[in-house]
Amino acid sequence: MRGEAKVERGGKSGKRRRQKAKSSCRIDEESATAEQISGVEDDKSTDLDGEVVLATALKEEKRMEEYRQGWEYMRRGMFGNFEDETTISCMLTTEKTIPHADRSGALLVYSIKVEEAKVKWPLHVYGMVAARDQVDYNRNFLFNRKRDNCQIITKDEPYLTLTGPSRAIVFIDPVDFEIDLKLKREPEVEQTLINKVLQYNGSTGYLGTIWSNSLCTVRLHFKELSNTVEATIVSVQIIRGSWPGQFGGEVFCHGVSSTNKFVLLDFLDGNNPPVDQNGNINLSRRVASVDVNQDFKVSVQAYSLSGSFKVPVGTGHATFKPKEQGFTVAECDLGNDCKIKIKVAWSLLVWTNYLLGAKISYV
């Protein structure tokens, strides 16, 4: 029987083998309005007493230190240092064959949302959220920002802008989700919002998959897939015409039978999409796990905001058959004489870095 997801974990953890392979309007500080920067918002929440904040931070710091010690006892020497980012790249088998690479169970992370914050909105958030899987037990960042590049989230739009994962999150053994979010204060004051580890082993519990403390709740929305390959969206390129007007837009992907959107990029009304000189749209993230039994759809949508609602003004779809290797290219029309070309790279997964061999170079 599967156990419940553990919200807090420290020390040595036993390895559990599974029996069955079974995003949003966000504000970056550089583009924020004066009202958003100053924190003027219709909100009745207030900062908690300093002693409560300090007690929460100290308690979490102690438990995270226990988690660090447990990780170092089990992993250090074999997998580098606790703070290391994963060195395993995506697209491992796109252009070559690697022994033991195969389809695998994986986790597809859709969004991370800050809820029930008991500190004053908006929140100037920085820090990191990362997944650690059995491939190398290092950090596979989903969100990673420094203090001078914090994201401002509001009560109406409380989602973090995700930039990862950098490769598929393999799910055969339990996956640790590590969160360390801080609030930027002025002058140079650092306040920890939440710093915890959640271990997912196949069950979310009745509350769903969340981190929670006395300051906030953070909800992790993801899906478990049992038989996947890795899709890397190499390019989304405007090859004819231009983006329609001054509309905002989204680039997202999903399985044909799924309504959950895996957002690759979201930009606001009045902004042109971030493109290079060749018309390639610069995506926030590129790597998704894909069910081999479903077609994979990449969509490009121009929209206009009506309050907090996105009203589509043009949408193009490109549908792909999942593959184990190689590239696939498809085109779609966005409307207004704007044509988009989308290139996807396909790869199998490895369940441990030892299978890559000494001659494999990590990117």
Q: Is 137 left (phi over 0), alpha (psi -120 to 50) or beta?
A: left
Q: Quick one: CATH architecture of 27-351? A: Sandwich (2.60)
Displacement of CA 116 from its chain's centroid (Å):
21
Supply the pLDDT for residue 51. 62
Displacement of CA 135 from its chain's centroid (Å):
18
As a whole number, mean pLDDT of residues 137-144 equals: 98
Percent of the chain with pLDDT over 70: 81
pLDDT range class, residue 270, cuts 50, 70, 90: low
- Render the burial of 73-101: b for 16+ CB within 10 Å, e for the rest: eebeeebeebeeebebbbbbbbeeebeeb
Helix runs in the chain, H state only: 34-38, 50-75
21 versus 173: which is more confidently predicted?
Answer: 173
Supply the pLDDT for residue 268. 82
Helices (H) and strands (E) in the chain, counts: 2, 17
Cis peptide before 165 (omega within 30 of 0): yes
Pick the range with the lowest mean pLDDT from 18-22, 220-224, 275-279: 18-22
User: What number of other Cβ atoms are within 10 A of residue 14's Cβ?
Assistant: 5
pLDDT range class, residue 342, cuts 50, 70, 90: very high
Percent of the chain with pLDDT over 90: 63
As a whole number, mean pLDDT of residues 284-309 equals: 92
**Digit-coded pLDDT (tens) for 228-245:** 999 999 999 999 999 988
Average pLDDT, the chain: 83
User: What number of other Cβ atoms are within 10 A of residue 257's Cβ?
Assistant: 10
**Best CA proximity match to 341, nearest among 260, 254, 255, 251:** 251
For the chain, how far is it from start to end, CA to CA, in angstroms? 38
Beta-ladder partners of 328: 344
Contacts of 263 (CB under 8 A, 6+ apart): 23, 24, 110, 111, 162, 250, 251, 252, 284, 285
As a whole number, mean pLDDT of residues 320-349 equals: 96
Using CA atoms, how far apart are residues 90 and 164, in angstroms rounded to an integer? 11
Helix (H, G, I), strand (E, B), or coil: what is residue 353? Answer: helix
Contact 198, 211 (CB under 8 A): yes
User: What number of other Cβ atoms are within 10 A of residue 104's Cβ?
Assistant: 22
**Digit-coded pLDDT (tens) for 174-203:** 999 999 999 998 777 778 999 999 999 998
